[in-house]
Amino acid sequence: MSTYTVINPATEQPVSQITLTDAGQTDAAIERAVKAQELWRNVAPGDRARLLRRFAAEVDAHIDDLAELEIAGSGHPAGQARWEAGHVRDVLEYYSAAPERMSGKQIPVPGGLDVTFAEPLGVVGLIVPWNFPMPILSWGMAPALAAGCAVVAKPAAMTPLTAIRIGELALEAGLPTGVFQVLPGKGSVVGQRLVDHPAVRKIVFTGSTEVGQQIMAGCARHIKRVTLELGGKSANIVFADADIERAAATAPYAVFDNAGQDCCARSRILVQASVLEQFMELLEPAVKGVKVGDPKADSTEMGPLISAAHRAHVASYVPEDAPVAFRGSAPDGPGYWYPPTVLAPVGADAPAYTEEIFGPVVTVTPFADEAEAIAMANDTPYGLSGSIWTGNVGRAIRVARGVETGNLSVNSHSSVRYWTPFGGFKQSGLGRELGPDAVDAFTEVKNVFIASE
């Protein structure tokens, strides 16, 4: 029996030892899920909705406990961790409205009646990364359960604690055994088995583009449905006609949120050349003002990176001779700390400019005009997120239509909203999560003709 010790990234101290699920146990869980799903799909829609609302209420009653687990196990700042637990509740509540609204169509046909049904896919495998263990779990879990699917979730090996607790809360809320199971374990074991097992009808994967490619290839063998939420290298585009003070004040939060371990991190700031100097003058105090420190403190805005290995990876983008324009602070001593860092000027072929860093490092690059801003934003294999700052509505629309990315905000640094669809263009992914149509991704359309003659 192999185990994994969860380490507190802020202290480097062990938090908990987790028994890892093996391939045989994964198969057994999938078989339990198959049986449970037969029951779950036949639970009356109103009752399924009620159970999801009870699940949301259980999460709500345990916000502080869940946050404490995420602070200790992932190093997330307290305010952020509480927000994330509240987000799970909100996503469950949002999709609890779905079971009673899963109507089909009646289509006019000669000789009878044609109706469609939205049938649940069956068992869904959910593979979650370490950066946002709670929110990303909820984005697949809630609409899949609402659709009448059973879910087998694999949290990242490094950050399993909150997912395990959420699995217990589902049972305490009254969800039938086997409908939602959490299997802590390795991607190469549990994740791979979810991909390979024929009874798992869909994989919802969030993680790196590299592993996403392997998952897609594995799913192809079974024509298995797949949703992929992958990497990003998004642009924060600031035009000269924008509210430069607001754009500069919020830019750190568009990239340093979760210590930059965010697929939506706008890690390339593109600034119109005529306001570059003004922007940099305003950005410097904003970056230096980011409160980096003890995740347990309510005032902390940024915590540590997830591991020593990941910190070394992030640091590799800032070698000795890197063009550091300015940087914020980070504590000394134990913990995988890395200060918010701004690089400028950088070449268009510098790895820090072209690759996803997944840490608190951002580049600032000037552009001449609208056309160049769009071209620079699109000069990446990714297309997940982005922000546009301008006072000109027409420009906002033109640039938003021109940038090849799935999620944009105008004059705002926000990225994910559970009411709206989320997902990537190009190598950032396939399919959409969240928003009103997410449940459709967990159903198949069944078409039935009933002869009347």
Residues designated catalytic: 229, 263
At closest approach, how far in Å is the CB of 77 from ligand NDP? Answer: 18
Angle between helices 45-61 and 78-96 (to 10 degrees): 170
Exactly one of 99, 129, 148, 366 binds ligand NDP (CB under 6 A); which one? 129
Exactly one of 358, 367, 418, 442 binds ligand NDP (CB under 6 A); which one? 358
Does 133 bind ligand NDP (CB under 6 A)? Our answer is no
Residue number with CB closer to ligand NDP (157 or 271): 157
Does 232 bind ligand NDP (CB under 6 A)? Our answer is yes
Does 130 bind ligand NDP (CB under 6 A)? Our answer is yes
At closest approach, how far in Å is the CB of 202 from ligand NDP? Answer: 14
Does 192 bind ligand NDP (CB under 6 A)? Our answer is yes
At closest approach, how far in Å is the CB of 411 from ligand NDP? Answer: 23
Exactly one of 206, 236, 390, 405 binds ligand NDP (CB under 6 A); which one? 206
Q: Is the peptide bond before 345 cis (omega within 30 degrees of 0)?
A: yes
Does 254 bind ligand NDP (CB under 6 A)? Our answer is no
Q: Do 219 and 205 meet the contact criterion of CB atoms below 8 Å apart? A: no
Exactly one of 177, 188, 412, 420 binds ligand NDP (CB under 6 A); which one? 188
Does 360 bind ligand NDP (CB under 6 A)? Our answer is no
Residue number with CB closer to ligand NDP (263 or 292): 263
Rounded Cα gap, residues 436 and 115, in angstroms: 22
Of 191, 94, 194, give the one whose Cα is nearest residue 422.
Answer: 94
At closest approach, how far in Å is the CB of 212 from ligand NDP? Answer: 7
Question: Which residue stretch of 51-59, 186-194, 274-282, 324-332 sits at the interface with ligand NDP (rule: CB under 6 A)?
Answer: 186-194
Q: Give the residues lining the site for ligand NDP (CB under 6 A).
A: 127-132, 136, 154, 156-157, 186-188, 191-192, 195, 206-208, 211, 214-215, 229-232, 263, 356, 358, 384, 424, 428-429
